[in-house]
């Protein structure tokens, strides 16, 4: 049964979502009605987030003991914003006593992308049905050992979906590539992999040089090249640094302290102001071009826009700091 809770932005688009999130949870006996009320409010909260397309709740069956919630969003990026939101976390905290053990979740995206600012490894295992419990016990050992390594930021386990994905998928997240490599090459991991039952797997890495600055939420587009991201950062960095220098110069800090404070402020301003509201919207056509975009015209136009904008800023800052005012 799938109609206990169903909400969507339009029935026609429900099956066309670019990203689907399946969450399975075992509800404590006798708390089913409380869970239904809680889940209905949670679904209504999700509907207010960008890109939401629908949510359905599926009751447990003989072959599926968990309640399964299916969320659909128009992109992996919008789905992740909901998953990581403070709103959802507040609901999870309030409903913690409804569940009998931790839940499981699986993301199904059209291109299988993992959107995350961290360095991520995705591992897929084929597990025989009669070895599922042993596999889960082995995976708990892996998580316990892995969690003691520097830079570990969490792991997720995604169950197979009949007819869609037969493998068990586990994603591990670390803050840097160096910390990830330390885990992948560690003696502790090699000992765990010595268990021949689960030694057959595939592994892939996902790394992002500039976090989520250039994530446009388009599951069909390849990430921009390092050259493009560097040029885009240059366009955002120039006005940011100059404005912050003008603001902090009257404080009279020595060079070593002024640079220390200025770089810290620049990092926050670039992450929360400059790139989200200035760099990314202006350069979207170039950073993530449409499939039918004309080349090399699109690249030429993108570079021209960057040069023109920075030239305009240069004129403004020249007039401001030379003609009208000079730094103390």
Report yes or no: 219 and 75 within 8 Å, Cβ to Cβ.
Answer: yes
Higher pLDDT: 10 or 149? It is: 149
Structural tokens at position 277: 């509201």
Residue 210 and residue 243 in contact, taking contact as beta carbons nearer than 8 Å: no
Q: Are 113 and 219 in contact (CB under 8 A)?
A: yes
Which one is predicted more confidently, 192 or 287? 192
The per-residue pLDDT for 162 is 56
For position 98, what pLDDT does the model report?
92
| Residue 296 burial class via C-beta count within 10 angstroms: exposed 0-12, middle 13-18, buried 19 and up | exposed
Strands (DSSP E) found in 159-227: 168-174, 201-206
Residue 225 is given by DSSP the state: P
For residues 159 and 125, is the Cβ–Cβ distance under 8 A? no
Cβ atoms 234, 306 nearer than 8 A: yes
Domains of the chain: 6-109 (3.30.70.100), 119-206 (3.30.70.100), 226-323 (no CATH)
pLDDT in tens, 22-63: 787 889 999 999 999 999 999 999 988 888 888 888 788 665
pLDDT 10s digits, 126-145: 888 888 899 989 988 998 99
Average pLDDT of every residue of the chain: 78
Closest CA to 25 of 61, 73, 60: 60
């Amino acid at each position: 049964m799938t109609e206990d809770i169903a909400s969507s932005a339009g029935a026609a688009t429900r099956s066309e979502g670019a990203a689907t999130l399946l969450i399975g949870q075992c509800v404590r006996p006798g708390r089913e009605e409380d869970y239904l009320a809680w889940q209905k409010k949670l679904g209504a909260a999700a509907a207010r987030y960008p890109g939401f397309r629908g949510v359905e709740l599926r009751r447990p069956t003989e072959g599926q003991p968990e309640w399964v919630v299916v969320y659909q969003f128009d992109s992996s990026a919008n789905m992740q914003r909901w998953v990581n939101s403070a709103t959802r976390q507040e609901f999870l905290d309030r409903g913690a006593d409804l569940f009998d053990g931790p839940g499981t979740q699986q993301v199904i995206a059209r291109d299988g992308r993992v959107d995350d600012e961290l360095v991520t490894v995705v591992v897929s295992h084929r597990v025989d049905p009669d070895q599922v419990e042993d596999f889960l016990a082995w995976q708990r050992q892996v998580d316990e050992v892995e969690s003691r390594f520097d830079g570990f930021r969490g792991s997720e386990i995604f169950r197979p979906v009949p007819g869609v994905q037969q493998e068990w998928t586990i994603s591990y997240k670390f803050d840097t590539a160096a910390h990830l490599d330390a885990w992948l090459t560690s003696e502790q991991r090699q000992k765990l992999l010595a268990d021949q039952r689960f030694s057959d797997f595939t592994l892939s890495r996902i790394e992002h040089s500039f976090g989520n600055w250039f994530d446009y939420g388009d599951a069909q587009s390849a990430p921009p090249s390092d050259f493009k991201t560097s040029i885009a950062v240059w366009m955002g960095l120039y006005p940011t640094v100059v404005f912050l220098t003008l603001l902090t110069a009257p404080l009279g800090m020595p060079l070593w302290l002024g640079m220390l404070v200025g770089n810290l402020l620049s990092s926050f301003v670039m992450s929360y102001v400059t790139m989200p509201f200035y760099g990314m919207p202006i350069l979207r056509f170039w950073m993530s071009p449409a499939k039918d975009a004309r080349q090399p015209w699109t690249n030429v136009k993108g570079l021209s826009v960057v040069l023109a904008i920075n030239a305009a800023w240069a004129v403004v800052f020249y007039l401001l700091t030379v003609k009208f005012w000079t730094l103390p």
